[in-house]
């Protein structure tokens, strides 16, 4: 009974992982409802969990990171001009705390997954999301693909995680099918990301796929060369197909850099660079943590003294577009330490379990955290949480969990 209930819950989490790209509001309800059910199972059947307990460090790191956000929100939350900052972070903190319990529960109950159907689900889901993204980019008037969100960058981050699972599932298939499906998988996934025109994702995704190929369990050198050759060829073809979009984003990047060199930070790249500088300085002024209002005043003082930092002014009521700097500038040393502990726990778990999927997911979260804040929005927090949960459980040692059919 417990095994069947956990399998149904895990399946709902997997379906939610893909449905988020289409129905984010409905997925949040499914995530919470399923999560409550899993946590209730853990409480009622705690004595039936495995011993010693698995993934304590990782679950604890997620919980600690969540608490650093929630405690800060408890002390500083108000209904003033920056209320959206507090509400966004409070929601993300609750999702992370909830996710830590779900991760701990699923890690410590023994249940069996029919592996092949799940691999097919990951492949089908990945192709559907990317096909929808390409449809939006090619057939609608939207300048950048956003899926069901209001930001193309969020769509790119979510698609990256979905695409890493797509490549993982393709590599899990028999070699013949892996060779057949890898080329279309890379083509459609990279094409979908290109349509978002998110530079960080366009640059990072091919590297993440290459690392996934190199470190994937059970792949020998000959297959690495074969798969790498396929990926390089497909990415080259994709670059040719999307030459206009890529060239436009490259020109915009060069223009942003030129403006920054001319002491004008009012551009996408320039604003991110000065937000790093001003956010770091604000954090150093209040290493114990501070409110969003106080941080804003600190940064305004810096801008008044150095007008070249004015690019940061537009984002004072949002975030600093850098995960570490945003945590440090609001929650001080403890917030930054909690985030770094979370990163380290992810890397340690990936290394300990030889979990390549979790490794590339962690790298993607860290890389995108250099130019944006994933844990500011509910959708970003949910997709990362689901990606970590799915990666940990799918790659749990086979003698404990996965039963191949």
Residue 288, pLDDT above cutoff 90: yes
Residue-wise pLDDT for 219-245, tens only, equals: 766 777 777 777 788 778 878 887 877
285 and 241 Cβ atoms separated by less than 8 Å: no
Residue-wise pLDDT for 215-224, tens only, equals: 887 676 677 7
Query: Once rounded to an integer, what is the mean pLDDT over residues 165-174?
Result: 92
C-alpha torsion sign, points 401, 169, 159, 125: negative
Residue 401, pLDDT above cutoff 60: no
Task: Return the pLDDT at 165.
Answer: 97
375 and 96 Cβ atoms separated by less than 8 Å: yes
Which pTM was predicted?
0.93
Alpha helices in 216-242 (DSSP H): 221-241
231 and 282 Cβ atoms separated by less than 8 Å: no
List the one residue out of 324, 18, 24 whose CA is nearest residue 149.
24
326 against 231, higher pLDDT: 326
Query: Once rounded to an integer, what is the mean pLDDT over residues 272-301?
Result: 94
Residue-wise pLDDT for 173-206, tens only, equals: 888 888 889 889 988 999 899 999 898 999 899 9
Task: Return the pLDDT at 221.
Answer: 66
Question: What pairing do the DSSP bridges indicate for beta strands 113-114 and 402-403?
Answer: parallel
Q: How far apart are CA 167 and CA 146, in angstroms?
A: 22
What percentage of the chain has pLDDT greater than the value 70? 96
Residue-wise pLDDT for 18-57, tens only, equals: 999 999 999 999 999 999 999 998 988 888 777 767 899 9
Query: Once rounded to an integer, what is the mean pLDDT over residues 148-167?
Result: 92
Residue-wise pLDDT for 251-282, tens only, equals: 888 888 888 888 888 888 899 999 999 999 99
The encoded tokens of residue 224 equal: 């690495």
Q: 52 preceded by cis ω (within 30°)?
A: yes
Kindly indicate the confidence band of residue 400, based on its pLDDT and cuts at 50, 70 and 90: very low
Task: Return the pLDDT at 56.
Answer: 92
Query: Once rounded to an integer, what is the mean pLDDT over residues 394-398?
Result: 71
Is 177 in a helix, a strand, or coil? Answer: helix
Q: How far apart are CA 347 and CA 157, in angstroms?
A: 19
Residue 156, pLDDT above cutoff 80: yes
CA quadruple 19, 25, 29, 31: dihedral, nearest 10: 40
Residue-wise pLDDT for 62-115, tens only, equals: 999 999 999 999 999 988 889 999 999 999 999 999 999 999 999 888 888 888
- b/e per residue, 269-279, with b = 16+ CB within 10 A? bbbbbbbbbbb
- Give the DSSP per-residue string, 110-155: ---EEHHHHHHHHHHHHHHHHHHHHHHHHHS--SS--TTSS-HHHH
Q: How many CB atoms lie within 10 A of CB 26?
A: 12
Q: How many CB atoms lie within 10 A of CB 385?
A: 24
Q: How far apart are CA 275 and CA 404, in angstroms?
A: 49
Which long-range contacts does 313-320 make (Cβ < 8 Å, 24+ apart)? 314/266, 314/271, 315/271, 315/275, 317/81, 317/82, 317/84, 317/85, 317/292, 318/85, 318/376, 319/85, 319/373, 319/376, 320/275, 320/276, 320/278, 320/279, 320/373
Q: What is the mean pLDDT of the chain?
A: 89
106 and 38 Cβ atoms separated by less than 8 Å: yes
178 and 170 Cβ atoms separated by less than 8 Å: yes
Q: How far apart are CA 53 and CA 215, in angstroms?
A: 27
């Amino acid at each position: 009974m417990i095994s069947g209930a956990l399998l149904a819950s895990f399946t709902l989490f997997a379906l939610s992982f893909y449905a988020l790209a289409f129905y984010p509001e409905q997925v949040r309800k499914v995530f919470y409802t399923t999560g409550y059910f899993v946590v209730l199972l853990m409480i009622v059947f705690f004595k039936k969990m495995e011993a010693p307990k698995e993934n304590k460090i990782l679950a604890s790191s997620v919980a600690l990171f969540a608490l650093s956000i929630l405690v800060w929100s408890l002390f500083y939350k108000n209904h003033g001009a920056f209320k959206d900052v507090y509400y966004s972070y409070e929601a993300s903190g609750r999702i992370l705390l909830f996710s830590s319990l779900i991760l701990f529960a699923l890690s410590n109950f023994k249940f069996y997954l029919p592996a092949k159907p799940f691999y097919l689900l990951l492949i089908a889901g990945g192709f559907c999301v990317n096909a929808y993204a390409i449809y939006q980019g090619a057939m609608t008037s939207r300048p950048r693909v956003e899926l069901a969100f209001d930001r193309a960058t969020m769509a790119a981050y979510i698609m990256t995680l979905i695409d890493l699972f797509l490549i993982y599932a393709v590599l899990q298939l028999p070699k013949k099918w892996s060779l057949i499906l890898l080329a279309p998988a890379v083509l459609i996934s990279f094409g979908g990301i290109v349509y978002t025109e998110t530079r960080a994702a366009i640059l990072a995704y091919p590297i993440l796929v290459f690392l996934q190929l190199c470190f994937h369990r059970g792949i020998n050198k000959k297959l690495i060369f074969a798969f790498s050759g396929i990926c390089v060829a497909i990415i080259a073809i994709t670059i040719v197909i999307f030459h206009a979009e890529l060239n436009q984003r490259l020109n915009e990047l060069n223009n942003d850099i030129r403006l920054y060199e001319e002491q004008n930070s009012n551009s996408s790249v320039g604003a991110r660079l000065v937000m790093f500088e001003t956010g770091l300085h604000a954090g150093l002024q209040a290493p114990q943590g501070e409110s969003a209002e106080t941080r804003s005043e600190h940064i305004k003082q810096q801008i008044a003294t150095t007008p070249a930092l004015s690019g940061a002014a537009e984002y004072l009521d949002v975030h600093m577009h850098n995960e570490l700097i945003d945590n440090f500038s609001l929650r001080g040393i403890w917030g930054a330490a909690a985030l770094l502990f979370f990163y380290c726990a992810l890397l340690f778990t990936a290394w300990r379990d030889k979990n390549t999927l979790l490794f590339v997911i962690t790298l993607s979260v860290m890389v995108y955290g250099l130019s944006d804040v994933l844990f500011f929005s509910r959708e970003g927090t949910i997709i990362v949480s689901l990606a970590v949960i799915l990666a940990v459980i799918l790659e749990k040692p086979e003698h404990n969990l996965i039963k191949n059919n």
